């Protein structure tokens, strides 16, 4: 079975910059539909993640911003109201610059060398506000990344390592093709369809298989069962986009424990001492 990481190597036109106006009513909670209220909560826990390269152009030898090698989706997994900081979980390959982009950054014509200085990370929340982010933890062996955002708190998604029953209906708020903007987060559904172990994978690393549709931009999105994240979507079948693969939450719990421990330790070390 063929699959590919949901790394988008060509910028797909999205609507992140489209003009929007506030509707003439409250869109949040404006219903007695419990299913809609449930989905609204998942949407508010979801963010868009962008990686922007800082490079030096060979012609001018000056620093430039703006090339976008990776974009994906993330979930808010921790917030500290007093410190005004949050952690966002996404796919590892959203946080790592592809090797091809370290040498092939020309928009057209022959490829040119553009040495990468560093990557800048941006997070967009459901209110359309952009935030700077840094990498807190990275686990490329399981394709997971935790980003740290300052001056932002949001509703936190709960992660569980409990496995859903085979055939369970799953929900997936995500940003395929950067379809994410103010008050707009596509919500998809599919079924837990079993497990798949790719070559060189240990048995414990077998991925969850679902029928949730996905494409580039959905990388790193949380997949929910009964309101809790049970896996992170990182791969899609190359021949059929409704076969997708999740890193199971057992690995997610591990990286979150490490990220939260280091994050809380950092907050404690930077907090002012009582007088």
Q: What is the pLDDT of residues 52-66, one digit of tens each?
A: 766 555 554 444 445
Cα-trace Rg, the chain: 19
Considering the entire predicted model, what is its pTM? 0.80
On whether residue 70 sits in a domain, the answer given is yes
How would residue 185 be classed by pLDDT, with cut points 50, 70 and 90?
A: very high
Average pLDDT of the chain to the nearest whole number: 79
Looking at residue 14, its pLDDT comes to 38
Is the C-alpha dihedral spanning 244, 231, 186, 48 positive or negative? negative
Number of domains in the chain: 1
How would residue 70 be classed by pLDDT, with cut points 50, 70 and 90?
A: confident
Q: How confident is the model over 235-258, as a mean pLDDT?
A: 89
Q: Using an 8 Å Cβ cutoff, are 129 and 119 in contact?
A: no
On whether residue 29 sits in a domain, the answer given is no
Q: Is residue 33's pLDDT more than 80? A: yes
On whether residue 16 sits in a domain, the answer given is no
**CATH number of the domain encompassing residue 241:** 2.40.10.120
* 250 phi and psi angles, rounded to 5 deg: -60, -40
Q: Which of 168, 164, 223 is nearest to 191 (CA)?
A: 168
Q: How confident is the model over 175-195, as a mean pLDDT?
A: 91
Q: Name the residue with tokens 């980003």.
A: 147
Q: How confident is the model over 18-33, as a mean pLDDT?
A: 59
CA distance 240 to 108: 29
On whether residue 26 sits in a domain, the answer given is no
On whether residue 133 sits in a domain, the answer given is yes
Looking at residue 260, its pLDDT comes to 93
On whether residue 272 sits in a domain, the answer given is no
Looking at residue 54, its pLDDT comes to 60
On whether residue 273 sits in a domain, the answer given is no
Domain enclosing residue 130, as ranges: 3-8+38-267
Write the pLDDT tens digit of every residue in 218-235.
Answer: 999 999 999 999 999 998
């Amino acid at each position: 079975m063929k699959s590919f990481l949901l790394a988008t190597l060509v910028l797909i036109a999205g609507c992140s910059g489209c003009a929007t106006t506030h509707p003439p009513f409250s869109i949040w909670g404006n219903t007695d539909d419990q299913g809609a209220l449930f989905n609204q909560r998942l949407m508010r826990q979801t963010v868009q993640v962008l990686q922007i390269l800082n490079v030096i152009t060979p012609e001018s030898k000056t620093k430039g911003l703006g090339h976008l090698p990776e974009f994906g989706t993330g979930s808010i997994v921790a917030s500290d109201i007093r410190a005004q900081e949050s952690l966002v979980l996404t796919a590892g390959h959203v946080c790592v610059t592809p090797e091809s982009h370290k040498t092939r950054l020309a928009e057209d014509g022959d490829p040119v060398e553009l040495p990468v200085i560093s990557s800048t990370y941006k997070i967009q929340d459901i209110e359309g506000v952009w935030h700077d982010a840094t990498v807190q933890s990275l686990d490329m062996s399981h394709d997971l990344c935790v980003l740290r955002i300052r001056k932002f708190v949001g509703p936190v998604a709960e992660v569980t390592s409990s496995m859903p029953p085979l055939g369970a209906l799953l929900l997936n708020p995500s940003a395929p093709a950067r379809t994410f903007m103010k008050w707009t987060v596509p919500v998809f559904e599919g079924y837990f369809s079993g497990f798949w172990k790719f070559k060189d994978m240990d048995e414990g690393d077998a991925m969850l298989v679902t029928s949730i549709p996905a494409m580039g931009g959905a990388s790193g999105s949380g997949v929910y069962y009964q309101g809790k994240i049970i896996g992170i979507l990182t791969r899609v079948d190359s021949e059929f986009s409704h076969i997708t693969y999740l890193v199971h939450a057992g690995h997610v719990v591990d990286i979150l424990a490490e990220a939260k421990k280091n994050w809380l330790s950092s907050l404690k070390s930077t907090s002012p001492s009582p007088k």
